[in-house]
A = this chain, B = another copy of it.
């Protein structure tokens, strides 16, 4: 088995580099700083598949004219607690935080606020957007559709993205509860790790092109498809399919973006299908103000008790205590801020290539 080489870089150096790369592509300073912030949060939280590893993919989409580096946002529809944003081909890294800020404003006035976003592109980690609510004593919610790579229950065709759902709930003394999950059985990142180490993957992650379970880590690249959470009929695949479908309908159908197999693929070498029913891909974000339901302090006290009680669940294995969603990512964030962000060799090479192409100094 090949060993993996890492280079550890500082958070500040990587942030400067990413910001300058976006600037070199015509992003405004505000947009470049924000885009770098979203990518860096993924790298800090240990969600390596959604951080700077994606940077070259974004740049190829900019070069291919599929991401607009200078978008003009327009609100196409507005009620008191709902609005729909036309992101004008923006990268989702900036359209989703923009929309979340509006949802927070609506929520401050009315108790809740909801934004559909269409004509957008990949929005990075869902948690970035939902977690914006936390400092406002609100619960944040975000979802997005994505490149069609996942099949349905009983299906043998790529119909859905890994379509994540994120819900971020504030607490008192305890850190926030942050659930950020793909609705497929395994996320892309796990396949990539298995592929790098050439390990077989478990039954129940992917189907081959022929519809049979495939345990080779490159099965998706060979034309296969990811399976929804639940993996098979006996274990509730219809539930994972239903959740992915919900995300697709909210992100695509409700907003006027594309949906299902028409969602434009993230990779620039695959062209979007002809006769698209909508514009770009779509996201859905929003929030609820806790204080509308209960005194915020009472809620926080009970939330702390909830977290402490669940951490104390009798574990199956005493060496593996029960985890509160969001905790490993928060702990990794603290660690990496201090000791740096480890990048695998392939990503380092990728970034070095970007430095050469854009003229940005590769001084991490």
Contacts from A to B (Cβ < 8 Å): 77-84, 109-112, 114, 116, 139, 151-157, 159, 167, 169, 177, 179, 181-183, 185-186, 202, 204-205, 207, 211, 229-231, 234-236, 238-243, 245-246, 248-249, 252-256, 259-261, 277-278, 288-294, 298-299, 302-303, 305-306, 309-310, 313-317, 320-323, 325
Contact = CB atoms under 8 A, between A and B. Distances in A.
Given A254-B299, A321-B154, A292 B83 contact: yes
Contact of A185 (B109, B181, B230, B322): B230
A294 B255 contact: yes
A322 B82 contact: no
B242 A181 contact: yes
B155 A313 contact: yes
B154 A322 contact: yes
Contacts of A310: 152, 159, 245, 260
A323 B155 CA distance: 9
Given A155-B314, A229-B240, A246-B179, A294 B84 contact: yes
A292 B260 contact: no
A145 B77 CA distance: 35
Contacts of A277: 302, 305
A61 to B, nearest CB: 24
Nearest to A303: B253
A172 to B, nearest CB: 11
Query: What is the count of identical protomers in the complex?
Result: 2
A183 B24 CA distance: 46
A242 B179 contact: yes
A98 to B, nearest CB: 16
B245 A177 contact: yes
A204 B203 CA distance: 14
A325 to B, nearest CB: 5
A238 B323 contact: yes
A293 B110 contact: no
Contacts of A207: 316
A294 B152 contact: no
Contact of A236 (B110, B152, B185, B245): B185
A211 B235 CA distance: 19
Contacts of A306: 248-249, 252-253, 259-260
Contacts of A303: 249, 253
A153 B79 contact: no
Contact of A112 (B114, B139, B260, B291): B114
Given A204-B235, A242-B179, A84 B323 contact: no
A263 B78 CA distance: 40
A313 to B, nearest CB: 4
A256 B114 CA distance: 24
Contacts of A246: 167, 169, 179
A277 B298 CA distance: 11
Nearest to A241: B325
Nearest to A80: B110
Contact of A238 (B77, B204, B315, B325): B325
Contact of A81 (B239, B242, B292, B294): B292
The 10 nearest A-B residue pairs measured at CB:
A82-B292, A79-B111, A82-B111, A79-B292, A179-B242, A157-B314, A155-B313, A81-B111, A202-B234, A80-B110
A114 B288 contact: yes
A183 B261 CA distance: 26
Contacts of A255: 293-294
